Amino acid sequence: MVATAFSSLVPMETEESQIARGLRRRDPDLLDALIEQYQHRLLRYLLHLTGNRAVAEDLFQETWLRVLEKGHQYDGRNRFVTWLMSIGHNVAIDYLRKKNPRSLDELQDPEDGAPFEPPATGPSPFDMALAQQQHEMFDAALGQVPAIFREVLVLRFQEQMKLEEIAQLIHIPVATVKTRLYRGVMALRPALTGGAL
């Protein structure tokens, strides 16, 4: 969407450099287009990180405000989505630290963890109910996974990010990403091998 909006102006420029240029100018049309394009991915990431929809929506807005204010720092050399998620990561970390400075892992209030929206597809009411039950169970299991592992799982499997990108986003080595991925998957083992999923 963004690429098509700007491609007529500078055909040789990459999408990332066009975004970087627009962010430096604080172009409101570009920002509108970026919000439209990345709305679901950012919200999904924040929701998994915080486990609370209302908080995730607040952080969603805060993230975009930071994108506006710090837009000049984006140089267009990396994918925009990686930079956006790293802003979201920092916003979430700031929120979680303010909420409870002890540890990122201890911060999720189980009562706050609203279930995620069920998928909208299913050939029959029975299949739909089964799928919904499976997702609710999976969400509950995912909510029990410590936040630092859950974050890596979400970035890897939902956002389809490369290990290198995740490492860059969270500011950790690639080896640590792999370790967190392993530990995250293993933390889900009881739920996944329980037969319900």
> By the criterion CB under 8 A, which residues form the site for other proteins?
26, 28, 31-32, 35-36, 39-40, 42-44, 47, 57, 60-61, 64-65, 68-69, 116-120, 131, 134-135, 138-139, 142, 153-154, 156-158, 160-163, 178, 181-182, 184-186, 188-189, 192-193, 197
C-beta of 93 vs 185, nearer to other proteins = 185
Closer to other proteins at the Cβ: 103 or 182? 182
Residue 12 CB, shortest distance to other proteins, in Å, is 28
Q: Whole-number minimum distance, CB 3 to other proteins, in Å?
A: 19
Task: Supply the DSSP symbol for 110.
Answer: T
| DSSP designation for 123 | S
> Is the sign of the CA dihedral 149, 155, 161, 164 positive or negative?
negative
Q: Which is nearer to other proteins, 105 or 117 (CB)?
A: 117
> From residue 40, how far is each of 37, 87, 137, 158, 164 by CA, in Å?
8, 15, 22, 11, 22
Nearer CB in complex with other proteins: 11/195: 195
Q: Which is nearer to other proteins, 25 or 103 (CB)?
A: 25
Alpha carbon 53 to its chain's center: 13
Non-local CB neighbours of 166 within 8 Å, separated by 6+ positions: 152, 155, 156, 177
Least distance in Å: CB of 157 to other proteins?
Answer: 4
- Shortest gap between Cβ of 170 and other proteins (angstroms)? 15
Residue 177 contacts by C-beta under 8 Å, 6 or more apart in sequence?
Answer: 152, 163, 166, 167, 170
SS3 126: helix
CB of 95 to other proteins, least distance (A): 16
